[in-house]
A and B are shown apart, each in its own frame.
Chain A
């Protein structure tokens, strides 16, 4: 599970749809790997306005990364500054949770992650 995906995933439990605590999911006992992936600057520029920077900062801190800058970079920053681009690329696209859990802050449901694949199957009473 890439950190990119974590910035968009919410708890799937029906009762959590209306709760703001169900996003972002919180990684627990996470084992991380870094994959080398080619930088796609245009993709990042496209995604930038859709990122939830506050949630991304929370995730980064929870995973033990240094704090992110308080404000997201602008599209111009990404295009002008290679380091900013690479840092964001590294966090969103190259960093993956291989094993561990994603926990909902509202209902406490734990989504297991195995071999990088998060299991979002729910027992039917939670759908």
Chain B
């Protein structure tokens, strides 16, 4: 299947015709809604929050954020950034509740430090990897995006970015850029090895009040249905703490997880990231 991401820039691909086609497809509406719900589940917000919707498009993801009832901790307020005027135009016509801005996330995230409780991005950030130009590179764009995103989230905040990586290299490039910006990062896949696979990059900002909660990526997915975390504090009573990443026990556990749906396939932290920095 051809990927427009590989040849076009997003503002060109999402013109008026494509924006309308995209938004009126009930198949797409359903998929975007369910992925946004999944992202919210991973964010696990305690109450009504201010959320950044990265690549908000015509508002299919954002309107889910607005629709969460008080019993489920909502509704949330959101600010959406998108580079396609046509997509934003449809969002206006659909009268979404979020605040919209025309902006290229590859240029940065222009909010003061600690603005958002959380961020979501549904089916957008793979676009950051496209077309190299003499003026810009995917590496620079990813770095400005994740650097800006990191700063704009409050300490202890989280971001969940569902994206469609072209291949493993792109997955690594994106995850690596997030780690380099300071995030604790994990990749989670729903329906792995099927054509409906959905990849979620789960990001945490350290500095939460409780030691081990803020920057700890495993805390994010702990207790999630169908998701196993890459440490064993939950199961291990010995008080020895987590199974060391890369140890035999860890690899065994990981293999075990491969058989389940909704598994964490990769966890990285600031520290593993540092070690590998030269490789990126």
Residues of A within 8 A of B (CB): 1-2, 4-5, 8-12, 14, 23, 37, 40, 42-43, 46-47, 50, 52, 93, 115-122, 124, 127
Contacts and interface: CB of A to CB of B under 8 A. Distances in A.
Given A10-B111, A127-B144, A121 B47 contact: no
Contact of A9 (B77, B110, B135, B154): B110
Contacts of B110: 9-12, 120
A117 B100 contact: yes
B100 A47 contact: no
Given A115-B92, A124-B135, A40 B101 contact: no
Contact of B50 (A47, A115, A122): A47
A42 B70 CA distance: 9
A12 B97 CA distance: 24
B108 interface: yes
A121 B108 CA distance: 10
A118 B112 contact: no
A23 B75 contact: no
B103 A120 contact: yes
Contacts of A11: 110
A1 to B, nearest CB: 6
A40 B50 CA distance: 12
Nearest to B47: A42
A121 B103 contact: yes
A10 B75 CA distance: 26
Given A2-B99, A40-B77, A117-B101, A8 B92 contact: no
Contacts of B49: 43, 46
Closest 7 CB pairs of A and B: A12-B110, A43-B48, A120-B103, A8-B115, A119-B102, A42-B48, A5-B99
B83 interface: yes
Nearest to A25: B110
B136 interface: yes
Interface in B22-53: 47-50
A46 B111 contact: no
Interface residues of B, number: 32
Contacts of B104: 120-122
A116 B77 contact: no
Contact of A117 (B77, B92, B135): B92
B265 interface: no
B216 interface: no
Contacts of A40: 48, 75, 77
B92 A116 contact: yes
12 contacts: A4-B50, A5-B79, A12-B103, A43-B77, A46-B49, A47-B50, A50-B114, A50-B154, A117-B102, A119-B101, A119-B102, A122-B104
A10 B107 contact: no
Nearest to B133: A124
A9 B107 contact: no
A124 B191 CA distance: 39
Contacts of B48: 40, 42-43, 46
A40 B99 CA distance: 16
A124 B136 CA distance: 8
Given A43-B76, A116-B100, A120-B101, 6 more contacts: A9-B111, A37-B97, A47-B50, A117-B101, A122-B107, A127-B108
